[in-house]
Structures are given as C-alpha cells and as structure tokens.
Structure 1
Amino acid sequence: MRIVPILTALVVVTVLFFLVFQREQLLNFAAGGDATSPPAEMAEPGETAASDATEASPTVETGTGVSVIAFRSTAREIDSAVLLRGRTEAARQVELMAETSGLVISEPLRKGMFVEAGQIMCRLDPGTREATLAEARARLAEAEAAAPQSGARVAEAQARLDEALINLNAADKLSEGGFASETRVASAKAAVEAARAGLVAAESGEASSAAAIQSAQAGVAAATREIERLEITAPFAGHLESDTAELGSLMQPGALCATIVQLDPLKLVGFVSELDVDNVNLGVLAGGRLANGQEVAGRVTFLSRAADPVTRTFRVEVEVANPDLTLRDGQTAEIVIAAEGRHAHLIPQSALTLNDEGALGVRIVGDGDITAFAAIELLRDTVDGVWVGGLPDEVGVIVRGQDYVSEGVPLSVTWQEPDA
C-alpha cells in the first residue's frame, strides 16, 4: 500500500536532480541539442568562443523572437486639464450683529426665507434715543444762535483797538511838538494794550462759539446714528441660514441677529499643488461634477499667490451660475480646469507596466523589432483608456506580452488595431 508514495518521491527527487545539477544538459536536450556535448572548460579554445557567442544571443541565432501583440499609435492633440477635489462655497455670507443694545420689537423671520437687500431683519426699541436726539438738536440751535454775538464782539473789539491806535498816534505827534505831556502818551499806550486784550478775548469767544457748534453737530450725528442702528437690514439679497432674533429678546452689541448667504453666483473652491499651479490661469474655462452627478461650468476668478503653509497648495476659485439655486454651500465637487493642449496617446490601461527602476511606462517595439521601454506621463483617465504623454508621435505599443519581455529582447510582433 506504500509503494505509490515511494515511487512518487523517487520521481520528484529525480526531477529535482536534473533541474538543479543537470540544468544545462536538460535545456540543451529540450532545445534539441546534443546533451553529451563537452563542457566549456574541456572544449577546444575555438569551440569555447563559439559556445560563448551562442549563449550570448541564443534567440538571434535561431532567428525567432518572443511573440507579442502590439498596435501602432499616433499622437493626437488633446485639451489638457488640471483635476482637483474641492467643494462649493457661497459667493457671500454674513452674520448680522447688533451695534447697540435694546429689546427686539420685530417679528422673527424664519430660516430658509429669501430676503431682499435692505430688508429689515431686526428692529430694536428706541427707548430714550429720540429725546437724546432732540436735546442734541436744541444744543446745536443754541450754539448757532450765539455765533453772531461772538462775531459782533470781535468787530467791536477791533474798532476799539483801531481807535486806541489813532489816539496813540495823535498823542505822539503832540508830544513831539510839546503840546502834550508824557502822561497823555502813556495813557494812550495803555488804552491800545487794553483794546488788543479785548480783541483777543473776543476772538477766543468766537472760537469757543464755533467749537460749541461743532460739538452740538457731533451730538446730533451721534444721536441720529444711534437711532439708525435700531434697524438691522440685509446688506444683499440671499437666504436666511438662521432665524432672526426672537421678539422681546435683549440684544447687546455683538449679538447675532441673522445669518445670510448668497448662492448665486456660487464658487467652486479647490486647492492646486505647486506642481500644477503654473497650468492654471485666470479666466480659463472650468467645470465641476458634484457628488450627485450634477455638472456645472464657469471660469477661474481667483488663484492664490501664497501657498497654504501646511499643505503647500494654492487656493483656486471658479465662479458658476446658480440661478435656480439648486446648488448648495459645502457640497463636494470634482473640479476640472482647462489647461494648454498637449500631444498624447490613448492606450489601454492594461498596457502600463514598470521597469526595473520602478518607473511607470510602456514597452514599445523599437528599431529591428527589439523591445524598448518608454517612460510616460499620465494626463487623463477615461473609460476608453488613459491619455499619456512622453512618447514619440508614432510608436508601436505592446499590449499583450509586455510583462514577459525586457529591453533588448527580439520580438515576433503581431499588429492589430487599438482596443480603444
């Protein structure tokens, strides 16, 4: 009952012996050669050289190559594109805050409503602000009424100064002729100094009157502005993202009244790497595909000049129309930005392979039907294949058997039309 395992073991040992210790003789026998040929070290010098030459190019000597399937590809001009992952973003969004304190006296507006620019969102109780404005206006009127009196006092002081100067001049003339005493001259000089002091005082009063007018005007403006702050209005048309402040609630400066977003137009926001940023230009066409399959189109309106310090990417904004407001803020989007066209080949994705250094490329049919490797650049992935760059304009791409040959191996090529 144990004879079968024993025979199996003997067969396995025999096969392993020939594969390990008699490999060359076994290969020669399989190729139809003389398995009893003497080894290289026992052959004549001329025979050794011939044997080495034979081992260096066995396929060339027999005139056969590795069978592969390839197709001839011609480069075509394609519109290149930069692919980004991003999101939708509202064109504008604002949180309306209170600038003054007071009780809300307006009925609240519910979130989701569409509001127009200038529409009142929250109205606050004016309290005593109307009285404050009236008081400021009264002070302004009082200051304006006192202004002419100040001007009259300045004119009167100037006239007194002029009169005192005339008297002083006359006293000096009379004193030179001996018709007036020194006492009269000194008295005239004292009158001039007193008139000048009166003029300075009158001018100071006029300046104080002007300052009072300006102060009263500032009070009126402040009271008016305080009343204007009682009504919080929408700066632009949009949708409410939150309810407005509830009736009767107390608002303090900085308290939230409402949040408004504008969704038309909408922005597609993405971040482009520093390797592709030079391929993006302002004003070029761009499109986006949302997670639900909806597609939109627009143009690039912004490209950041400064990279994000963490990711080293640059912000890109694409403005798209959203008249029916079907697009929402914060949706995931795949953004495609048009770039300068390039020459490329459309090849099956299965034709891609790696060389010994790990570079991505394709194996091609070189001159004399010899295998060659060409590194490629992936440009675009489609359902029909991949668009690649870096290849000559005319090239034979191996699509079957590329993983069984290496550079320099002769080929037996079967040409066919491309699958894509």
Structure 2
Amino acid sequence: MARFSQIRPIWFVLIIVIALAAWLASGMLGGESKPAEDDAAQANEPQPVSVSTRVSEATTVWREAELNGRTAPDRAVTLRARTAGRVRAVEAERGKRVSKGEVLVRIALDERSASRNEARAVVEQRRLQYNAVRKMSEKGYQTATDMAQAKSDLEAARAQLAQIQQDIDNTVIRAPFAGVLETRPVEVGDYVGVGDEIARVIQQDPFVVNGDLAEKDVALIEPGQPGSARLVDGRTVQGRVRYVATEADTDTRTYPVELEVDNPDGRLVSGASAKLILPLEQVSAHKVAADLLTLNEAGDMGVKTVNADDVVEFHPADIVKSGNDELWLGGLPERVRLITTGQGFVRAGDTVRVVDDATASARGAGPANTPAAAKQAPAQPAADSDSRP
C-alpha cells in the first residue's frame, strides 16, 4: 500500500503532460490557426513602391534641329602675284583690319616704267601716221588698204601700251574687300613669280556657321528663316539661313546648310565648333529636368509616368528642344504625372503608391529608404537603376 502511494503522483503528472500536448497539437492543426497564417502571408507579400510625382501640362514649343556646326568666314581669298618681280614694300601687317582697295604689297616696277614711256611714244607716232594717211586718203592720194594698215598699227600700239600699263597695275596688290589680313608670306626683298601667294584676306562680317541637315528635316528649312548658333564660349548668336542644299552629300546623306550671323566686332573666329539650332515646327511638349530620363528593359531612353490607376507607364524620349539642364519632350499625353523620385525602382506595369513632391519633401523619405523598395530593387535591370545621365 505504501509503494502504490509513492508511484501514483508520477502517473498523474504523465497523464496531464500527455493531455496538454494532445490539446496543443489539435489546436495547431485545426482551423483556429488560419488567421495567424493569413497574417504571415500578408506580411510577406511585396508592398507597392512609393514614388513622388509631378503633374505636367504640355505647352506649344518649336521643335528644333541641333546640328554640330563649324564657323567660317563669309569670304576668304588668297591673293597671288599676277606679275613677277621683287617685293618693294609691304603696307599691311598680319592680323590688321584692312578696307576695300587698301594697298597690301608693292612689287618693284624695274624696267616697266621705261617700257611704258616707249609704248606711249609709239602710240603717238602711230596716231600721227594714221592722221596723215587719213588726210591723204580724203584727197585721193592713199588707198583704202593704206588707210586700214595705218589704223591697225595705231590700235596695236595702243594695245601694247595697255598691256604694259596692266602689268604695272599688277605690281600693286590691294584688298578685294574689307576684312582681316590673315597671312602675308612675303617680305621686302623677296622675289615672287606669277602665281606665288602674296596674302590671304578674310571677310569677318558677316560670318557663317555651317552644318548638315538630316533627310527628315531638310523639307522644314528654307532660306531666310531665323536660326541661332551656340558657340564654344557659351555665347548664342542669332542669324538667318542663307543657303540650304538641294542635293544630299553622297557619303553622309545629309544636306549642307549655312546660317549667316552678324560679326561687327570681329570676335568670331573661323574653324571653331558651334551648335547650330534651327526651328522646324511647332509641337506640343512637356518641359522636364534632364535627370528624369531613364532606361527601360530594352535600353530605350525615356521618362516614366503614373496613370489614373497608379500604374507605371514608360514613354520613349522624343526630344523636341533642349537647354542646359532642361528638355522638352514630345509624344506624351497633354497632362501626365511624371515620376520625379523613384523611377529607378519601378518598371512599366508596376502598381505604385503615389506621393506628390510636396509631401515627399516634408517627410524626407523616398522609395530607396523604404523596405518595400529595398526588396524590389534587385529585380530592376541594372540599366534602369543607372539610367540618369
């Protein structure tokens, strides 16, 4: 009896433990655990990414063609010697502004003066002979043949004098137009032959900016329309189109175009790079910051917007006009919600939670700081996350 009383409490403890374990097991396998499972599943579901947006309204702007251009003078002439001789004097230095007709170089006359005097004497002799034959012919003492011969001798003498005078005039080299004496490779004492370079004169006002138009734009440009050019020093000069080619370059399939700009102070230099900007047509476009451009999965550049259902849409970038840090994009709806923050964490078709710019700034939080964004970031292609220029 005493032995039974010692064992009995142990059995009671075992029975209680087994009953408690059975009850716990039945609760875990039963229907009462479903709410806990639903809460866990809901916690593991990816939440929509928060993005900041800005409402943009389209405006009418000019679509522009931006061409890589190069500055050039309106006229540039290389002056060459038309007679041989020794350089007697130089009247202008390199880089000097010269006026039309100004003397640049003089070549020594040498024996030309004596030849001219001799030719003048021959002309006077032939003139006297011709007058004498004409008077005798009027009296019937000279034939018509004698009259024709005398007149021919006089004209030949005059032609010889004119040739010598022209050769003398060629010893003075003058500027053909107002401009700058760019080069002058001769000095006093140099001997020049016919065809040797004497000087090069460049007309600086007006100046020209050359470019090449694409096939799709050439029909929208015509001579006389305004345009502008952005120079390497940041200045922008205005001008008018003076020439548009009607035949394409066989190698590039582009059409040369020239913009004429004023250069009264002569600050424009020849051969400098420039951006030629020509208005083409008026279109509807949105003004956006350049850093809003991103890439989609196909590698196309564009912007991302959110539609009325808070679903992301991608629009390829149709750049109508560009500024320093701004772009005007065409091909978008008249009114859109541009994603300004978080475009690198979403793709077209994703549903997002929209936060306007003012709210996002006040909260100081962006998609990159949220756990949901951190979960989805690895799924975005590398090109998309590094797409900002």
Query: Structure 1 pair 417/300, CA: closer, same or farther in 2 (3 Å)?
Result: farther
Structure 1 residue aligned with 2:100: 117
In structure 2, C-alpha distance between the alignment counterparts of 1:213 and 1:254, rounded to whole Å: 32
Q: Which amino acid aligns with 2:72?
A: E
SS of match in other structure, 1:79: strand
In structure 1, C-alpha distance between the alignment counterparts of 2:110 and 2:321, rounded to whole Å: 67
Aligned 8 A contact 2:87 2:105 in 1:
yes
Residue 219 of structure 1, aligned match among 160, 165, 175: 160
The answer to whether structure 1 residue 282 and structure 2 residue 282 are counterparts is no
Residue 307 of structure 1, aligned match among 235, 240, 248: 248
Say which is worse superposed, 203-212 or 257-266, in terms of deviation. 203-212
Query: Structure 1 pair 289/347, CA: closer, same or farther in 2 (3 Å)?
Result: closer
- 1:118 CA displacement: 1.6
Query: Structure 1 pair 155/328, CA: closer, same or farther in 2 (3 Å)?
Result: same
SS of match in other structure, 1:104: strand
Structure 2 residue aligned with 1:375: 316
In structure 1, C-alpha distance between the alignment counterparts of 2:156 and 2:261, rounded to whole Å: 51
- 1:107 CA displacement: 4.3
Q: Percent identity?
A: 31
**Map of 1:193-272 to 2, 5 A cutoff?**
202-243=143-184, 245-272=186-213
- 1:212 CA displacement: 2.6
Query: Structure 1 pair 73/320, CA: closer, same or farther in 2 (3 Å)?
Result: same
Q: Which amino acid aligns with 2:96?
A: M
Aligned 8 A contact 1:72 1:418 in 2:
no
**Map of 1:54-73 to 2, 5 A cutoff?**
67-73=50-56
**Map of 1:37-186 to 2, 5 A cutoff?**
67-107=50-90, 109-147=92-130, 149=133, 152=136, 156=140
- 1:309 CA displacement: 3.1
Query: Structure 1 pair 32/117, CA: closer, same or farther in 2 (3 Å)?
Result: closer
In structure 1, C-alpha distance between the alignment counterparts of 2:322 and 2:293, rounded to whole Å: 13
Q: Deviations over 1:242-285 (max 9, x none)?
A: 34632222121112222222222222223333333334332233
How many pairs were matched up? 322
Residue 31 of structure 1, aligned match among 11, 29, 41: 41
In structure 2, C-alpha distance between the alignment counterparts of 1:417 and 1:281, rounded to whole Å: 46
In structure 1, C-alpha distance between the alignment counterparts of 2:208 and 2:42, rounded to whole Å: 73
In structure 1, C-alpha distance between the alignment counterparts of 2:139 and 2:40, rounded to whole Å: 133
SS of match in other structure, 2:65: strand
In structure 2, C-alpha distance between the alignment counterparts of 1:92 and 1:307, rounded to whole Å: 23
CA RMSD between the two structures? 3.5
In structure 2, C-alpha distance between the alignment counterparts of 1:221 and 1:229, rounded to whole Å: 12
- 1:214 CA displacement: 2.8
Query: Structure 1 pair 417/92, CA: closer, same or farther in 2 (3 Å)?
Result: farther
SS of match in other structure, 2:88: coil
Aligned 8 A contact 1:266 1:320 in 2:
yes
**Map of 1:298-337 to 2, 5 A cutoff?**
298-337=239-278
In structure 2, C-alpha distance between the alignment counterparts of 1:288 and 1:393, rounded to whole Å: 30
Structure 1 residue aligned with 2:288: 347
SS of match in other structure, 1:315: strand
Query: Structure 1 pair 296/362, CA: closer, same or farther in 2 (3 Å)?
Result: closer
Query: Structure 1 pair 364/297, CA: closer, same or farther in 2 (3 Å)?
Result: same
Q: Deviations over 1:7-31 (max 9, x none)?
A: xxxxxxxxxxxxxxxxxxxx99952
Aligned 8 A contact 1:71 1:417 in 2:
no
Query: Structure 1 pair 372/114, CA: closer, same or farther in 2 (3 Å)?
Result: closer
- Structure 2, gaps ≥5 residues long: 1-36, 361-389
- 1:390 CA displacement: 0.6
Q: TM-score, normalised by structure 2?
A: 0.70
- 1:407 CA displacement: 4.8
In structure 1, C-alpha distance between the alignment counterparts of 2:307 and 2:338, rounded to whole Å: 10
Aligned 8 A contact 1:154 1:206 in 2:
no
Say which is worse superposed, 279-288 or 216-225, in terms of deviation. 279-288
SS of match in other structure, 2:89: coil
Aligned 8 A contact 2:92 2:103 in 1:
no
The answer to whether structure 1 residue 391 and structure 2 residue 332 are counterparts is yes
Aligned 8 A contact 2:69 2:273 in 1:
yes
SS of match in other structure, 1:31: helix
Q: TM-score, normalised by structure 1?
A: 0.65
- 1:230 CA displacement: 1.5
Aligned 8 A contact 2:288 2:326 in 1:
yes
SS of match in other structure, 1:302: strand
Structure with greater proportional strand content: 2
- Structure 1, gaps ≥5 residues long: 1-26, 34-57, 158-200
- 1:127 CA displacement: 2.2
Q: Which amino acid aligns with 1:93?
A: A
Q: Deviations over 1:162-203 (max 9, x none)?
A: xxxxxxxxxxxxxxxxxxxxxxxxxxxxxxxxxxxxxxx944
Query: Structure 1 pair 360/155, CA: closer, same or farther in 2 (3 Å)?
Result: farther
Q: Which amino acid aligns with 1:31?
A: A
In structure 1, C-alpha distance between the alignment counterparts of 2:138 and 2:38, rounded to whole Å: 131
